[in-house]
Amino acid sequence: MREWIEALSEAGRKRLADGLMELDVEMVSLLMREYITVHRVDDPSAADDAPSNRYVQFDEHYLIEFIRYDAITQPINDFLEEAFERDYTYFTALMEECYWGVQAELEEEAYQLRRARLQDRGFPEYFEAQNVFAYIEPARFEEIRRGYEKPSRAGLFDDGETIAPDMALATPGGNSLFNAALTAGFASESQRQLRTEMALVANEVLVARRIDFGNPEAVRTAIGTTHDYLNLGLEYLAAGDLSNAIEHLKDTHLKLLFRLGVSLTIDLRKRAEMTVERLGLDPKRTREIAYLDSPYREALAGMLQRQPRFYAGLDGSGSLVMRDFAAMRDLHLCYAILDEIEAMGELLRVFAGLDISSQAFRAMVAGTEVRLSQILLTAFARMAIDGRIRPQPLEASRLAELRRAVMTEERHPAEIRPEFRSAVEAALAERLDERTRARSANFVNSCLNVLEDEFGQLDPAETPDPRFIRSVMLARG
């Protein structure tokens, strides 16, 4: 308030009084009590021994003592004088509040008045807004929904305080199931009503996240978040069927649908925490696992956030940012990633003799840039040149031998030899059960692709430079 008063005072005391007198008198009195003490002249306890320059008196009833001096002390004095001259009733009400008012009661009353005004316009109180992110069990959603009265979207615009139809929220573009259901299943008036309801949910998101309404980019992001979680919840209920989605959209409050979308990501986070525990780590302290390869490392870090985020590198779009979950496909990709991470433990145990959930393994890789793919590829490399599967680092002098053993020489860029790939598949089939082999297939293929990309560009006539080899572990010296 001091910042606003300092700015308003530049327009003169009349404009300053216009602004302050439109506020709740409780709010103004809270400010005044920091700068003045009001004494009643008819009160025998009123002080009369203080220096006269601390007192101002506008009438025969109140004596105003200034107790704080800073940049707005003079504007406050000007405001009091203007209020006295303009509206004596307002002036006396303010003096009585300053004299009799209890600080805690004034704060509570001002807060409740503000809260009521904001709620009338669709902006909930901060702690109440947190409920929009509250968890509901997805498996019990039908039972939970039956506990709510079916939404009646008629008559949303009868009250002048609600959002006008031409100001209803426009949903973000895209081919989402939510947008398709909104367009195909509802007339224009119903669409505006649903968008208005969506705007109310978006307001709760903005308040819950403490987003500045004056920041257009942050507001757009929050609206996108609202749409994404609504679409996620709708896809879960409708299983991708448009007609089914339309029926669910008719029968479900959008806030409940939003909470369902949020809850699906919370279930994913719980599953990610279980995966981290299986790796021998504390999920409450772990935010990134250094020895995991990309995109496993980034994807797991996104899932472990308090509000889980999707690593866009998984969807093939070329983007490497974290974003909100927008569709069930995003969840399926993440669950598949968690399955692969859990399968890596068995894979490394069999082919490298390592327990990646043990403290000994974490101590071994601590402070290094070793990745699980390097350990596995080193074991495969030893199999190709020595006939034994062991993750012992290669000598730099044997890189040319490794290239000849695993890469073709007839074309450029070179490719992995079919016989080497077949040997890897045979080793996997011999040592792993079918389920673990299926869960680890993508990771193994990605490792072989890394090996192919690195060695495929090398000139067969030249010895590979060990300084630029990252796919396998090399011995020092």
Please tell me the predicted confidence (pLDDT) of residue 232.
Answer: 96
Please tell me the predicted confidence (pLDDT) of residue 164.
Answer: 45
The phi-psi region of residue 370 (left if phi > 0; otherwise alpha if psi is between -120 and 50; otherwise beta) is beta
Distance CA 311, CA 324 (A): 9
Please name the residue that has the structure tokens 């959008």.
Answer: 254
Please tell me the predicted confidence (pLDDT) of residue 154.
Answer: 53
Please tell me the predicted confidence (pLDDT) of residue 171.
Answer: 65
Task: Give the sign of the dihedral formed by CA 183, CA 184, CA 188, CA 192.
Answer: negative
Crossing angle (nearest 10°) for helices 25-32 and 88-100: 60
Instruction: Please say whether the beta carbons of 381 and 402 come within 8 A.
Output: yes
CA 78 to chain centre: 47
Could you tell me where the beta strands, DSSP code E, fall in 204-318?
Answer: 310-311
For residue 182, give Cα distances in angstroms to 60, 193, 246, 257, 385.
67, 11, 7, 14, 61
Peptide bond into 295 cis (omega under 30): yes
Distance CA 343, CA 392 (A): 22
Per DSSP, the three-state class of 440 is helix
For residue 15, give Cα distances in angstroms to 29, 91, 462.
18, 17, 82
Give the DSSP per-residue string, 290-339: TTSPTTHHHHHHHHTSSS--EEGGGTTSS--SEE---SHHHHHHHHHHHH
Structure tokens at 374: 């390097």
| Full pLDDT tens readout for the chain, 477 residues | 899 999 999 999 999 999 999 999 999 999 999 999 999 888 766 555 545 667 888 888 999 999 999 999 999 999 999 999 999 999 999 999 999 989 999 999 999 998 888 888 888 888 889 999 999 999 999 999 999 888 875 544 444 444 444 445 666 767 899 999 988 888 777 788 888 889 889 999 999 999 988 899 999 999 999 999 999 999 999 998 999 999 999 889 999 999 999 999 999 999 999 999 999 999 988 888 999 999 999 999 999 999 999 999 998 877 889 999 999 999 999 999 999 999 999 999 988 889 999 999 999 888 888 999 999 999 999 999 999 988 899 999 999 999 999 999 877 788 999 999 999 999 999 999 999 999 999 999 999 999 999 998 888 888 888 888 999 999 886
Where are the alpha helices (H) located in 387-433, listed in sequence order?
Answer: 399-406, 418-431
How is the chain split among helix, strand and coil, in percent rounded to 5? 60, 5, 35
Distance CA 400, CA 380 (A): 16
Per DSSP, the three-state class of 66 is strand
Please tell me the predicted confidence (pLDDT) of residue 44.
Answer: 64
| Range 289-296, long-range pairs (CB < 8 A, 24+ positions) | 290/365, 290/369, 291/356, 291/365, 291/370, 291/371, 291/372, 292/341, 292/371, 292/372, 293/371, 293/372, 293/373, 293/443, 293/446, 295/337, 296/337, 296/340, 296/341, 296/443
Please name the residue that has the structure tokens 């990709």.
Answer: 333
Structure tokens at 255: 């806030």
Residue from 276, 271, 278, 312 nearest 295 by CA: 312
Per DSSP, the three-state class of 177 is helix
pTM for the model stands at 0.79
Per DSSP, the three-state class of 62 is strand
Structure tokens at 219: 């507001």
Task: Give the sign of the dihedral formed by CA 233, CA 235, CA 236, CA 242.
Answer: positive
* Residue 427: how many other CB atoms lie within 10 Å: 16
Peptide bond into 413 cis (omega under 30): yes
